[in-house]
Structure 1
């Protein structure tokens, strides 16, 4: 959801600490930061006056070496930012386990967000729920559908007769799986559901949005059934207890075993007499490896899952003419060093050069030097011709495959980790190797999709340039790296290294036309950007700026005034 804000961010400073220049602080994503929370923070907050629908504040936090929030800034629409003062006190109390660099606690910049939702819409009319006796038959079923992305799709039922899980997509264990349950514990859970007045709630809390997962909660007590549909219901005032019940179902069933391969999966499979010599077992092994579940991977191997590829049964075979290639074990684990090393020790893909090389691509993309070294020692080729391989990528909830291109160095540079770039340069790769769009490693080093709070991407650019990479390389559209990156520090470094500020692409545009970084405008002017150049439409950069809004026009005016006053 954070990306929805990209086009309308307005910075609003916090007052938890004096202003502090923090451009050099390491940047921590919210996924990583949440693993460091001392206790879970509220990120869905009911606020009086908030309108139904999507309302979100993007937070930039400065966290001290002791884990305290010392400064907080918020970004969002004007309508949402007006609620920020009432939330600052709570955010200021957030605590994290210290973040460290090389074993030493450091100050970091954390990217987070909070969703603002309307106050809870409580039931208008009380419905008498069934009584629960010592022999009552209870079933609580939770169904979670997929989304435009990789949301786990499954249904799970916890009942007085046991647990049933049915994995449909983006889970480690697809298909039906079962486990035992404590009947009395399920009845106690049902009593709490009744006490929460669940039977009186609306049948549906559905937001006006698309591409999100739907959750359906169905409670049956001695045949008396109540169902509530939750489609981002919090945006519409759905009582928070509904989410609590959903999460409790997952906790009682321990669905994380089947969804993410958490501890207990292999034991549960053994209890249901699962065939560990099957294609399905090997598929689960790959999925567990892709989640970095090293302990579960070890248990699968100990249970006898072979590392030699098992042919799919007829049910799974592709249609004639299909070119879909199964992902190898090493490639599945390539973003997780410990898991990867476990599979290497087991002899996975010992004779499969393609899987070794693709795994090296994955390790480079993840920025993992240790994984890359382990793979190269195992036989992966750092100079592999990727055009002979099939690259698999996940995008928008779909698995896409296509012919590879470029070389491992391009993926190493894309990671933004100077250490992996330095490691790959040891093998003297082709610096001007190109991907399908004609882009070299110099392009991917300045990948605009990523931030560069710690200057790591600048260092990647320096390393490549020092090795002899061309800062004025052209892709198939005639763009140079300076056209493509929108990170101010990378743009400045490219200019220092000799990037041509007036290079024109196939549309006749120089970098000052293509950048979306208004902070770079004065930088381009300083380095000699020719503002009289016209693109293929006959527009100057100022004329073209009219379609990009008043902020772009103002940035250009200021830069031109500064230049003329020199």
Structure 2
């Protein structure tokens, strides 16, 4: 996606756009100017002084692409110094029009701070582009009892939640879960009528009745969102199929989310204690196959799952026999307890153990304990590792080694220490306790320098997890930074963290196996790494 060249109208509000005086005169960035501190999305949003500008076009404007992205260099005072078009090579930038430059004049930032000092930063900003209504159409008025607002979300090529929820003016809500939701089926309940009244006013404020009835992008495999406003029998429907890609106002997406919030839809799509209590009141049979499937779906959801709600399901009698999960994780079948440990849900773990998940015929089962211990390590929660470690069976503690088999056609097999099971899940926002687990396992006797069947080492795992503390620990204990891992690469090739990259460089990593390190550093905006490479005449 690139920033568009021609922008007729730009504003930061729903009011009629107008020209903004004194447009910015940013130059395009030189290659070296795109190196520096890279704040995450949350930091960019909190440091920006005001909302990002929104580009608006007259009704009927035809565009090949809607929306654009810029990479900005922001100096130590929070001022934008230069820009680059996202996705394009430096030196081949798309020029900014006068109206774009006028709109961008509103961009200001509080200084970004690193190590207690303001630093130059590389910021990525997305600009929405929207089509204005053809005419203003007044939304009908009706008594609240004659209002119905419906949101339908459909499935996609993946696992997008598929459901329909209707909110009525008197506060009655009807939810119908279809596919890829924790709780399928139909449930009726009530929410405060004043919340529905506010939802109606939001639709009026956002001028939804004036918008097109269909915003369907020419793409495939995405979900649809369908909003239906029924006000006293007069109906306006908006079909959103990736509508933001073709100029649908952001207000539609916001209103879809507001319907979900008023209807408490999330308690069904991601099962909550409130949903469990409502199901219990409706007479749901938790001891059924459907109860077991509900728990499985919730556990597979990962970090978003409600730990207490799932534990309540177990307490209400969901079957927790030895049957392995139908799908497993990473292709390997596993028990409910193993999945709960892998997903780091302590309340579910305790509920399952209380139901005998570590036993066979009433006695502790060493094989189950060993498997649970391995899952706890992979889950990255230290308290759960200790919890399973202290369960005794034929041995006082679980095994510190496991049968390790590599992937690929030519499989290698060996006995490896359980430290090599550590792995930080991609995009998991929860704190990862790999450093504490690794240090504790090493103290129990695990070999920190061992390699897995596929060649990976604990240093590679730490670098890939962007765990600077664990990398530092291993280097301080004498771990060789040049040790080859999977594909023969040193740990430096596994990290996305500049601090770790510098640690490994200064620890003497052999760069002969990393001929593209400078390119990797430039792509990652690693100014300090590039400076190090220049100073050491490397690459």
Deviation at 1:159, TM superposition (A): 3.3
- Classify 1:470/1:116 alpha carbon distance in 2 versus 1 (closer, same or farther; 3 Å): same
- Indicate yes or no: 2:117 matched with 1:86: no
Contact 2:225/2:239, CA 8 A, preserved across alignment: yes
- Indicate yes or no: 2:280 matched with 1:276: no
**Which residue of the partner structure matches residue 515 of structure 2?**
512
**Which residue of the partner structure matches residue 441 of structure 1?**
458
Contact 1:292/1:333, CA 8 A, preserved across alignment: no
Contact 1:166/1:175, CA 8 A, preserved across alignment: yes
**Map 1:365-514 → 2, pairs under 5 A:** 368-378=381-391, 381=398, 383-385=400-402, 387=404, 408-412=418-422, 414=424, 417-431=434-448, 433-435=450-452, 437-447=454-464, 456-457=467-468, 459-467=469-477, 469-475=479-485, 477-485=487-495, 487-502=497-512, 510-513=513-516
Deviation at 1:254, TM superposition (A): 0.4
| 3-state secondary structure, aligned to 1:426 | helix
Match of 1:46 among 37, 48, 54: 54
Report Cα offsets for 1:196-230 as digits up to 9, x if no partner: 55343212234566665432212335654432122
- Classify 1:272/1:111 alpha carbon distance in 2 versus 1 (closer, same or farther; 3 Å): farther
- Indicate yes or no: 2:377 matched with 1:361: yes
Instruction: Kindly report the root-mean-square deviation, in angstroms, between the aligned alpha carbons of the 2 structures.
Output: 5.3
Report Cα offsets for 1:460-510 as digits up to 9, x if no partner: 2343345564533334533333454465543443344443333xxxxxxx3
- Indicate yes or no: 2:353 matched with 1:350: no
**Which residue of the partner structure matches residue 143 of structure 1?**
152
Match of 1:295 among 293, 303, 308: 308
**Which residue of the partner structure matches residue 325 of structure 1?**
333
- TM-score using structure 1 length: 0.62
- Classify 1:299/1:114 alpha carbon distance in 2 versus 1 (closer, same or farther; 3 Å): farther
**Which residue of the partner structure matches residue 239 of structure 2?**
229
Deviation at 1:251, TM superposition (A): 1.8
Deviation at 1:109, TM superposition (A): 12
- Classify 1:60/1:9 alpha carbon distance in 2 versus 1 (closer, same or farther; 3 Å): closer
Contact 2:416/2:451, CA 8 A, preserved across alignment: yes
Contact 1:328/1:355, CA 8 A, preserved across alignment: no
Match of 2:165 among 146, 156, 161: 156
- Indicate yes or no: 2:132 matched with 1:122: yes
- Classify 1:389/1:376 alpha carbon distance in 2 versus 1 (closer, same or farther; 3 Å): farther
CA distance in 1, matches of 2:227, 2:444: 55
- Show structure 1 runs of 5+ residues with no match: 2-7, 15-21, 63-68, 95-104, 391-402, 503-509, 530-555, 557-566
Deviation at 1:525, TM superposition (A): 7.3
Deviation at 1:301, TM superposition (A): 4.4
CA distance in 1, matches of 2:164, 2:247: 24
| Number of residue pairs the alignment of both structures matches | 460
Deviation at 1:134, TM superposition (A): 6.4
Match of 1:309 among 314, 321, 324: 321
**Which residue of the partner structure matches residue 25 of structure 2?**
none
Match of 2:347 among 339, 343, 356: 339
CA distance in 1, matches of 2:72, 2:175: 37
| 3-state secondary structure, aligned to 1:471 | coil
- TM-score using structure 2 length: 0.65
Match of 1:259 among 258, 262, 269: 269
Contact 2:54/2:127, CA 8 A, preserved across alignment: yes
**Which residue of the partner structure matches residue 65 of structure 1?**
none
- Classify 1:61/1:165 alpha carbon distance in 2 versus 1 (closer, same or farther; 3 Å): farther
- Classify 1:417/1:298 alpha carbon distance in 2 versus 1 (closer, same or farther; 3 Å): closer
CA distance in 2, matches of 1:9, 1:155: 47
**Which residue of the partner structure matches residue 215 of structure 2?**
205
**Which residue of the partner structure matches residue 547 of structure 1?**
none
**Map 1:178-197 → 2, pairs under 5 A:** 178-180=188-190, 186=196, 189-190=199-200, 193=203, 197=207
